[in-house]
Amino acid sequence: MRTQLAFIGQDSLQGVEEDAAFCVQHGFEGLEFNYWGNFEQLSEDTVRRTADILARYGVKCVMFGLWGWNHLAPDPAERQRAHAMLRRAIAFGQILKADVLTTGGGVYSAVLAENVAEFNKVFPPFLQDMAAAGLRPAFYAVHGNSFFDSIEAYEQVWETLPQVGIKYDPANWRHHGADYLAVLRRYGNKVAHLHIKEHLYHHGELASQPAAGMGDIEWGKVFAFLYEHDYTGPLSIEPHGPIWSQGEMRRKLLLLTQRAISPLLI
């Protein structure tokens, strides 16, 4: 198990500088960077300048993420555009020396077997490129143009492509209605990247997304299963929601989560 936490960084160069300094000041390992539709506007120059900032502070890029693009789109033009973005993401992840590249599986149809078959045709060259770039592949679940909305989807893909990893977020799985601990108990060895995000429910509704330990996710049990599977991937905090993701509240979330999770790390 890694002994330091990372967190999702800001995308602007000024934000990267601020977050890198915060990592050094408070003992965080590094940052992850995520892009949605705005990825088209990200330039190689900005990525290289980001890498320079991280190197200057001695801070790692633990993960590079490309979200929301449909890599299995039935429309040829949409698919071609998504694939161009994925190739850029692999190149940028290599520049940043990221540990993990995260993206979605795409959606080809409403039928799981058809999605799996198309994924198995489309992704082998991309998985080879990721491996050549030193990036471990992780695929996020349950939202954002990804047919990975159940553990069965991963299981069917693993029959052909066992190197496919899970970007695991227990709060997302719980909110989806799945047994998030069952996923981890059975397949902790398939987790390539962990998001630490808290959900607090009140009267059956998601009321807040505060620091870890202040809500309903059973982090002790999560880490018990991670240890049992000898997890060595990134441990990355995700500030999320309208209250805890900006300004001073973001800073408080990062430090409070660090305080809550650190006793679980050796």
Spatial separation of the C-alpha atoms in residues 237 and 242, rounded to whole Å:
16
Q: Name residue 239's amino acid.
A: P
- Domain-embedded: residue 205: no
- Domain-embedded: residue 181: yes
Range of the domain at 47: 6-194+219-239
What burial letters (b/e) apply to 169-206, b meaning 16+ CB within 10 Å?
bbbbbbbeebebbebbeebbebbbbbbbbbbbeeeeee
- Domain-embedded: residue 199: no
- Domain-embedded: residue 46: yes
Per-residue pLDDT reduced to its tens digit, 148-160: 999 999 999 999 9
- Domain-embedded: residue 266: no
pLDDT for position 144? 86
| Single pTM value for the model | 0.96
Spatial separation of the C-alpha atoms in residues 27 and 25, rounded to whole Å:
6
- Domain-embedded: residue 69: yes
Strand partners, 106: 146
Phi, psi of 193 (to 5 degrees): -155, 135
With a cut of 90, say whether residue 20 has pLDDT above it: yes
Per-residue pLDDT reduced to its tens digit, 183-211: 999 999 999 999 999 999 999 999 999 99
- Domain-embedded: residue 87: yes
pLDDT for position 259? 98
Q: Work out whether strand 191-196 and strand 200-202 pair parallel, antiparallel, or are unpaired.
A: unpaired
- Domain-embedded: residue 203: no
Count how many domains the chain has.
Answer: 1
DSSP state of 64: E
CATH number at residue 47: 3.20.20.150
Q: Name residue 207's amino acid.
A: A
Q: Which of the four pLDDT bands, split at 50, 70 and 90, describes residue 262?
A: very high
Q: How far is CA 33 from CA 7, 62, 89, 98, 180, in A?
A: 9, 9, 11, 10, 24
SS3 244: helix
